[in-house]
Amino acid sequence: MKEKYLINARIIDPKKQIDEFGGLIIDINGKIKAVGKKVSNGNLPSGIDKIDLKKHILIPGIVDMRVFVGEPGYEYKENFRTLSNAALSGGVTSVVSMPNTLPVIDNVSMVDFLKRRGRDKSKINIYPAASLTRNAEGKQMTEFGLLKKKGIIAFTDGVKTIQDPQVMSRIMNYAGESDALIMQHAEDNILSSGGLINEGEISTRLGLKGIPSLAEKIIVERDLSFLEEYHCKYHISQISSKKTLSIIKKAKEEGKIFSTGVSINNLSLNENDIGDFRTFLKLSPPLRTEEDRLSLIKAIDEDLVEVIVSDHKPEDEESKRLTFAKAATGATGIETLLPLALELFHNGSLKLNKIIASLTSNPAKILNIDKGNLEIGSDADLCIFDINKPWVVNKGELLSKSKNTPIEDRKLQGQIIKTFIKGEIAFERA
Amino acid sequence: MAVIKKFKAVKISQNHLLGVQDLTYSEVSYILDEAKTFIKLNKSTSKKTDALRGKTQINLFFEPSTRTQSSFELAGKRLGADVMSMNIVNSAIKKGETLIDTAMTLNAMHPDIIVVRHQDSGAPNLLSQKVNCSVINAGDGRREHPTQALLDALTIINRRGKVEGLKIAICGDILHSRVARSNIYLMNMLGAEINVVAPKTLLPHSIERLGVKVFTDMKKGLDNCDIVMMLRLQNERMQGSFLPSAREYYEYFGLTPDKMEVAKKDALIMHPGPMNRGVEIDTNLADDINRSVIKEQVELGVAVRMACLKIYCKKM
């Protein structure tokens, strides 16, 4: 590999608190050699090839903490190759994949398989999460120690919540020892049983059983109580309601250490978007009220919520062409994660730096991985985007194998131009 | 309903009858006006017309139903349509065929109208997007049962002349009831004042946003009412954790003569059926010919469904 010289970019790295015009040099090993305003056309020897980024924004490659891939078992929804292509076109260079596959990722031999497949078929960095419990059944905990030894950095039952308080307390107690990151999807199954959308006026009008926000709050409240007794690395995968935020705020004020994520869907859509039974907006956690959405945005601004995820969940069209009750839950979103997040910048809801931090340095810090930054010596995983480019989401043009985008026809502003993985251009928009 | 004449020329804007929520005041008046013409016909010795001769009507019932299905079947036959009722228990749906595939199959047989009942809210909406004929919702999940509300309105108009200005109490399992929802929309549109009365566990979230007053005490909710609409309490609700027992429910929410005393003297009692005597309604009250119009509801149901079939069949 030859050295590469990227010049004339606005460089933003929330970890190093950089926001300046300059360039970046990639060394022959694909690592960052130099970065910042000193890397400019004038300071570089003439006669070498330079990549002019035309004042576009250069950030660390995005780290997406919640992504579903269909391998093994659901390859028809998404495989590593299609996920990788979709991610790269969205500027995402690292993902944490959820263990809800067939079979569930709950033992070391599955991890070997995943790592091999991921390495052979995809360009992006894949960090598989293993399940917290065997077969994600919420009963018997998995081998955190052995799995960690194999390189697993996060544990979660993915779409499922550990319901049994005794099992959860033991997981948190045991995991504290091994320093494993525990990620919980917060939903009380009994309270949300049969629920399809947010409980409220819309669910009453559509005649769909509601999911109360209490179902989320109660699990968060429970787990944060356990955290007083058992110190482990605890992360709430996604929250959706204002009620939960009040609990998080209180816990942070008490000095509890944990982290929280939110799906881009809950920041950009609300329950009204479901309209006339649009199954593509059947999500978990559900889309809630506008008041909830606004409170989540404010929570990012106030650092109560640290991470924005795509919650990319590919589902084939057949499983969405059903009645709302029978349709599959989830939406794709890895390709539109950054552009949709930029909407929050363009409409004045959030500062650009906050958005970028929630997509890069914050998740990397929680996962304890050397990604999501532009440190000298780090892998040159980069995302370069045009912050103003207008475009319209068209599912036919998206690269994910499944086309269940919740924002078909949405007009967005901001598009990824180039994505680098380990110093190589892995995606380039024509 | 003198107002009907004025709107006689009004046509229906939608191709399907999916819910009262989609109807306008003039469309409702048009349907009820049309229904009135069938009341007399249904009482005569020769009940058949040829309004829908040559038309094919398919009744697609995914949920067991006796009265609604037979009412639609009779309505279609009296209009001269060829009526086919699909028995879902033996159909491909049980073998895993999706609603859309069933719709496509039926659509290939060129029906003119499909009457559908489904346990999932929104199923008729989905169906209507995939077929080339009109779809009439005969009840979907907890969402809507538009022909029931229309027949209830016709029953009230038949007895009281109009709905406007009346005070109507809807009592019982509002949470799971599509009849309650459709009636709330329709009676509101027609200018009634609506009370809903139920234990809190059987009230849907934010129900007051639909334009009703909420009561958890029968005597307060029924006070000075012109119409008392009772809803069926399904047995399985009793076994869940919604209520402690049928006995306690009857004590506090069952319609009994002493509770009826607070309503207007000439207040009418309605019930969409089938009734649980002794659970939600006192058996003598249900049969009280001076107050109960439950049988009349069934009778006018055929007329309303004839009107809907005729109007929507001609839409496409």
Q: What is the pLDDT of residues A369-426, one digit of tens each?
A: 999 999 999 999 999 999 999 999 999 999 999 999 999 999 999 999 999 999 999 9
Q: Which residues of B touch A (CB under 8 A)?
A: 21, 98-100, 118-123, 125-126, 140-144, 178, 181, 204-207, 209-210
Q: Which of B20, B100, B120, B182 to mutate to test the interface with A (most CBs of A within 10 A)?
A: B120
Q: Measure the N-to-C terminal CA separation of chain A; round to a whole number of Å.
A: 23
Q: How many CB pairs under 8 A join A and B?
A: 68
pLDDT in tens, B82-112: 999 986 765 656 667 788 888 899 999 999 9
User: At residue B316, does pLDDT exceed 90?
Assistant: no
- pLDDT over threshold 60, residue B70: yes
Q: What is the pLDDT of residues B166-209, one digit of tens each?
A: 999 999 999 999 999 999 999 999 999 999 999 999 999 999 99
Q: Which residues contact B236 (CB under 8 A, 6 or more apart)?
A: none
| B126 contacts A207? CB cut-off 8 A | no
φ, ψ for residue A141 (rounded to 5)? -70, 150
Look up residue A286 and give its DSSP letter.
P
How remote is the C-alpha of A59 from its chain's centroid?
Answer: 16
Does pLDDT of B239 surpass 70? no
Cα–chain-centroid distance for residue A141?
Answer: 24
E strand or H helix at A389? strand A382-392
Chain A residues with CB under 8 Å of B96 CB are none
Question: Residue B178: closest CA among chain A residues belongs to which residue?
Answer: A207
Active site (annotated) includes residue A276: no
Contact between chains at A207 and B209 (C-beta distance less than 8 A): no
Q: Spell out which residues of chain B touch residue A210, defining contact as CB-CB under 8 Å.
A: 205
pLDDT digits (tens, 9 = 90+) for B19-53: 999 999 999 999 999 999 999 999 999 899 999 99
Q: Select from A205, A277, A325 the Cβ nearest to the Cβ of B125.
A: A277
Locate the chain B residue with the closest alpha carbon to A205. B143
CA distances, A106 to each of A67, A72, A109, A147 (Å): 17, 13, 9, 8
Contact list in A for residue B125 (CB cut-off 8 A) is 276-277
Would you say the ipTM is above 0.90? yes
Q: Which candidate from A199, A207, A323 shows the least CB-CB separation from B142?
A: A207
Neighboring chain B residues of A208 at a CB cutoff of 8 Å: 121-122, 141-143
Is A207–B181 a contact, with Cβ atoms under 8 angstroms apart? yes
Which pLDDT score is estimated for B7?
46
* Pairwise CB contact (< 8 Å): B144 & A207: yes
Residue pair B186/B150 in contact by the 8 Å Cβ criterion: yes
pLDDT of amino acid A391? 98
> Which among A204, A276, A325 has the least Cβ separation from residue B205?
A204
Higher per-residue confidence, B164 vs B14: B164
The whole-angstrom separation of Cα A341 and Cα A296 is: 13
Interface probe, candidates A196, A201, A203, A205, chain B, greatest B C-beta count within 10 A: A205
pLDDT band at B240 (very low <50, low <70, confident <90, very high): confident
- pLDDT score recorded for residue B93: 61
> What's the pLDDT at B92?
58
Structure tokens at A189: 């199954």
Q: From chain A, which residues contact B within 8 Å (Cβ)?
A: 199-201, 203-210, 212, 276-277, 318, 321-326
Shortest CA distance from B139: residue in chain A: A207
Nearest residue, CB atoms, B125 vs list A205, A276, A318: A276
Mutate to test the interface with B, among A272, A318, A323, A326 (most CBs of B within 10 A): A323
What are the two backbone dihedrals, phi and then psi, of residue A4, each rounded to the nearest 5 degrees?
-120, 145
In what helix (H) or strand (E) does residue A211 lie, and over which residues does it extend?
strand A210-211
Greatest Cα pair distance in chain A: 69
* Chain-chain contact of A204 with B207 (C-beta, under 8 angstroms): yes
Question: Is B143 in Cβ contact with A326 (below 8 Å)?
Answer: no
Question: In chain B, which residue's Cα lies nearest the Cα of A321?
Answer: B100
Any bridge partners for residue A309, and if so which?
A: A263
- Taking contacts as CB-CB distances below 8 angstroms, the residues of chain A near B118 are 323
Task: Copy the structure tokens of residue B114.
Answer: 């499909």
φ and ψ of B197, to 5 deg: -130, 120
Q: How far apart are CA B255 and CA B228, in angstroms?
A: 9
Closest CA to A86 of A424, A278, A313: A313
Q: Which residues contact A47 (CB under 8 A, 6 or more apart)?
A: none
What was the pLDDT predicted at B89? 62
Nearest residue of B to residue A198 by CA position?
Answer: B205
Coil, strand or helix at B146:
helix
Q: How far is B46 from chain A (nearest CA, A)?
A: 41
Cβ–Cβ of B142/A210 closer than 8 Å? no
A319 → chain B, closest CA residue: B98
The answer to whether the CB atoms of A207 and B125 lie below 8 A apart is no
| B123, B144, B209 member nearest A323 (Cβ) | B123
Contact A207 B118 (CB under 8 A): no
Q: Which two tokens stand for residue A211?
A: 């999911």
- SS3 of B18-58: the string is CCHHHCCHHHHHHHHHHHHHHHHHHHCCCCCCCCCCCCEEE
Tell me if A112 sits within 8 A of A150, measured CB to CB.
Answer: yes
Nearest by CB to residue A204, choosing from B126, B144, B206, is B206
Distance from the A393 Cα atom to the nearest Cα atom in chain B, whole angstroms: 23
Q: Is B142–A200 a contact, with Cβ atoms under 8 angstroms apart?
A: no
Q: What is the pLDDT of residues B191-200, one digit of tens each?
A: 999 999 999 9
Q: Give the chain A residue nearest B126 (alpha carbons).
A: A323
Catalytic option among A188, A292, A311, A381: A311
* Residue burial B232-257, b: 16+ Cβ < 10 Å; e: rest: bbeeebbeeebbeebeebbeebbbee
With an 8 Å Cβ cutoff, are A205 and B121 in contact? no
B chain contacts of residue A206, beta-carbon cutoff 8 Å = 121-122, 143
Task: Tell me how long chain B is.
Answer: 316
For residue A326, give the nearest of B21, B120, B181 by CB distance: B120
Provide the residue-wise pLDDT of chain A in tens; the chain has 430 residues: 899 999 999 999 999 999 999 999 999 999 999 999 999 888 888 888 899 999 999 999 999 999 999 999 999 999 999 999 999 999 999 999 999 999 999 999 999 999 899 899 999 999 999 999 999 999 999 999 999 999 999 999 999 999 999 999 999 999 988 889 999 999 999 999 999 999 999 999 999 999 999 999 999 999 999 999 999 999 999 999 999 999 999 999 999 999 999 999 999 999 999 999 999 999 999 999 999 999 999 999 999 999 999 999 999 989 999 999 999 999 999 999 999 999 999 999 999 999 999 999 999 999 999 999 999 999 999 999 999 999 999 999 999 999 999 999 999 999 999 999 999 999 999 8
Percent of chain A with pLDDT over 70: 100
Are the beta carbons of B136 and B113 closer than 8 angstroms? Answer: yes
Distance CA A308, CA A260 (A): 9
**Cβ of A204 and B209 within 8 Å?**
yes
Question: Please, which pLDDT band fits residue B66 given cuts at 50, 70 and 90?
Answer: confident
Nearest chain B residue (CA) to A326: B120
Residues of B in contact with A209 (CB under 8 A): 142
